[in-house]
A and B are shown apart, each in its own frame.
Chain A
């Protein structure tokens, strides 16, 4: 039986073209930095502070009307973005922190939800508003508590338990329908509701055009704190890695590894700046995973270099490094492939909430595979050459 092989006898002269590869990296890093400077990162609510409301509409959302309405409220910078699959009619509404918002917050906890409540009010259609003013309640916006209270007063005394159960069953049914009832017909399908409750619901409720999927508010000081923590996490993990490689290998190898790391993180950041994908907490997690994974890849190559250096003490350094890279080539490609398969699956099928995270991983992993071969090892060779040169001069 013949083995299925991939580059098993690879013999690329990578070190011969090391300046070419390093130039590619330098250009890619420069482009990333340029993107970061010119376009900047699209800071998410985690870091920027502000309010984010994600809603689902019955029909295609009237974006322009909503925008005008929200701008009329003067809440601050408003940003609307369609999100998820087009047929789901979902909209992400972001309201930036207004100047002086922090000072207003001093009053305490209550009041911070104002923005989200105002946004919700602005979203409701003419029809929804007239239904509400006629005393009906919106089953797409109701919570278990509000529905229970409403049923409680409607059913009369002694039926609190039944009202509670019915409210729970209704909201559960709504969740099963993606968080939104399409019509009052949907309510009739809930088997556990008694005829009395069914009547109450169909007489006194209506199906609103908007359902809330999530709501987030981050205060201004929290954002700064998160940026600080994230930066420390990246910096300290780099130092930790540097020390480990220093102990297990040599100091300069650690430096080379960390340079490769910084390279990958910068390129991933550049990718984020270029695509303007939202920079959120999960993206920070992705960046740190890139740190971990990139160094993992580099260390595998380093390990082989170290082993070969011991075996072939007389051979030229550059040749040994080149041979080591070629020997680990098939492993690098295979592992990269499996990781890329999984990350690509995550990017394509993981849903929009994992979109920025999996995109960052994808860019970082590709860059990481490149840097472990074409950046970290050439640095070792160049350093060794400089070292030999210095020794020769001294002698």
Chain B
């Protein structure tokens, strides 16, 4: 290729690189370990969703069987996606099998003889439930996190979908309050309204003034046994150091979080933080009926089976209301967010949690840059001393290499992490390797008595295969580093990989162009190398 063309390419590449990495602060994203922030990895317990679905199917099956007069001795869910039936009347076995194969085609039924059956959910259905609960969890988390208003947040699925090993990665740069984040995204947020059971002989307001109380006290109020429709639910705020306190509530939940249309933080009558909600039209009608029929009674509001508050119904409420519960501004906001985003379909297990303070991050950046600059400066001096004028060539190549590295990182939207800085420092050291290989070859050729021009050409040609072989093998290692690495390891792999590519351009193409230009312009008899 003619020299003119080569310089045109170099100029174009350099210009493009400059544009790509200017301004550098905006183009290169910093990892959480440098910027500070919260990093969470969670596993969605999709087994829970499969289990819940199996439970539901069992109830449907029970109802269908009863309709057909089939009443097995026992029917139970033995594992997520598995049911076991025992004691199906021998005369009804065919009726059962008929039902199982038509209406329960999502299950494979196997008979153990003697009226004993196993029902196993088909793998396709299991996968479907897992995938949809994962998707829903992602959506729920996303809408909850969105309210934080964090820029550059990461919420994504990692791991294999449908295999029961689904993970969700959440990264929030600039946030330090991990507890709040975890509480916000981790809570199932299942909201219910339940009427409070009033013990006989007690007025609602009397109970309200006493409650919440301990289990034993409530039992004695009811004369030793709870009514069949009543259950005890713990209060959300427990007294410190004392016994757990409860509210007696009816089992049925006439209104749940699914009936919500909207919720937001508001200021209550006393200037305290409250959560205001709006119900859907249909639920509004039910709420109206419920409140009209129970005026003066207590209506408990439960979040995840815990009673937040149990206000007295003072008037008929249609579709809007408030939830009071000694909220702070933050906790009212958080509850409103959780309610708006809906309940999580399955529980989640926290696998990793990392919080880096911004001051530690900026210390790390400073130290990393000092080390890189120092390393680069020493290498530059070393090359100048050792190769003299040719050293200038190598150092120009090194500068181009670093520029290209930054530009490519900006282009690929790569994230600079702490090990990534180490990767940059390292490529500076390794960057001159190709130059050294070439220069040493040129020296060898010169020692053999070749002319300057022939020595340069020979040096480049002979070093070329070596450079390709050695860099490709390094690239192979780097690719595995990228493929299997997580977080900072990936950042390191990216910088190293990009560094190698930048290096090849700088050391072979650019360096050769300089030599060739020099040889054409000056035609030197000797080479300062």
Contacts and interface: CB of A to CB of B under 8 A. Distances in A.
B214 interface: no
Contacts of B188: 108
B209 interface: no
Contacts of B386: 4, 6, 334
Given A218-B351, A219-B352, A109 B328 contact: no
A335 B137 CA distance: 51
Nearest to A351: B367
A330 B433 CA distance: 12
B418 A282 contact: yes
A331 B470 contact: no
Contacts of A143: 176-177
B440 A331 contact: yes
A282 B480 contact: no
B529 interface: yes
Contacts of A219: 349-352
A358 B424 CA distance: 13
A214 B360 contact: yes
B484 A303 contact: no
What DSSP secondary structure best describes chain A's contact surface?
helix
B474 A338 contact: no
A69 to B, nearest CB: 20
Contact of A293 (B474, B485, B492, B529): B474
B84 interface: no
Contacts of A117: 179
Nearest to B473: A295
A300 interface: yes
A237 B472 CA distance: 12
B466 A299 contact: yes
Interface string A365-393: 00000000000000000000000000000
Contacts of A292: 473-478, 481, 496
A345 B375 CA distance: 6
A346 B484 contact: no
Given A237-B477, A303-B469, A338-B429, A112 B489 contact: no
A284 interface: yes
Contacts of A338: 379, 382-383, 429-430, 432-433, 436
Contact of A213 (B350, B360, B472): B360
Interface in A3-49: 3-6, 8
B485 A233 contact: yes
Interface in B440-495: 440, 443-444, 447, 462, 465-466, 469-481, 483-489, 492-493
Nearest to B148: A145
A307 B441 CA distance: 13
Contact of B41 (A4, A222, A236, A241): A222
Interface in B70-116: none
Interface in A292-332: 292-293, 295-297, 299-300, 302-304, 307, 327-328, 330-331
B350 A331 contact: no
Interface residues of A, number: 95
Contacts of A284: 485, 489
A334 B187 CA distance: 58
A222 B436 contact: no
Interface of A: 1, 3-6, 8, 54, 105-106, 108-110, 112-113, 117, 143-146, 149, 152, 157, 174-180, 211-219, 221-222, 226, 229-230, 232-234, 236-237, 240-241, 244-245, 248, 281-282, 284-285, 288-289, 291-293, 295-297, 299-300, 302-304, 307, 327-328, 330-331, 334-335, 337-343, 345-346, 348-351, 353-354, 357-358, 361
A117 B376 CA distance: 42
Given A282-B418, A284-B485, A350-B368, A342 B356 contact: no
A154 to B, nearest CB: 13
B19 interface: no
Contacts of B370: 349
A327 B41 CA distance: 52
A334 B387 CA distance: 11
A215 B422 contact: no
Contacts of A218: 351-353
Contact of A1 (B187, B329, B489, B528): B528
B257 to A, nearest CB: 17
B529 A3 contact: yes
Contact of B429 (A149, A216, A339, A350): A339
A357 B492 CA distance: 11
B432 A349 contact: no
B474 A296 contact: yes
A106 B48 CA distance: 11
Contacts of A354: 364, 367-368, 371, 418-419, 421-422
Given A105-B349, A108-B347, A179-B359, A113 B472 contact: no
Given A218-B351, A284-B489, A357-B422, A342 B484 contact: no
B207 interface: no
B476 A244 contact: yes
A303 B466 contact: yes
Contact of B350 (A109, A341, A345, A350): A109
A113 to B, nearest CB: 5
B501 to A, nearest CB: 14
A153 B349 CA distance: 35
Contact of B374 (A334, A345, A357): A345
Contact of B357 (A113, A179, A341): A179
A70 B362 CA distance: 30
B244 to A, nearest CB: 16
A1 B367 contact: no
B359 A174 contact: yes
Nearest 10 Cβ contacts at the A-B interface = A109-B186, A179-B359, A342-B429, A351-B367, A292-B477, A342-B375, A233-B484, A237-B480, A339-B429, A345-B375
Contacts of A229: 484-486
21 contacts: A4-B386, A4-B387, A109-B349, A112-B350, A149-B330, A213-B359, A215-B353, A215-B355, A216-B353, A216-B354, A229-B484, A230-B484, A237-B479, A296-B430, A299-B473, A300-B469, A338-B429, A339-B430, A341-B429, A351-B367, A353-B367
Nearest to B489: A285
B42 interface: yes
A337 B382 contact: yes
A110 B480 CA distance: 35
Contacts of A230: 484
Interface in B343-402: 347-360, 362-364, 367-368, 370-372, 374-376, 378-379, 382-383, 385-388
Given A54-B360, A110-B187, A236-B484, A3 B443 contact: yes
Contacts of A145: 177, 180, 330
B47 to A, nearest CB: 11
A350 B370 CA distance: 7
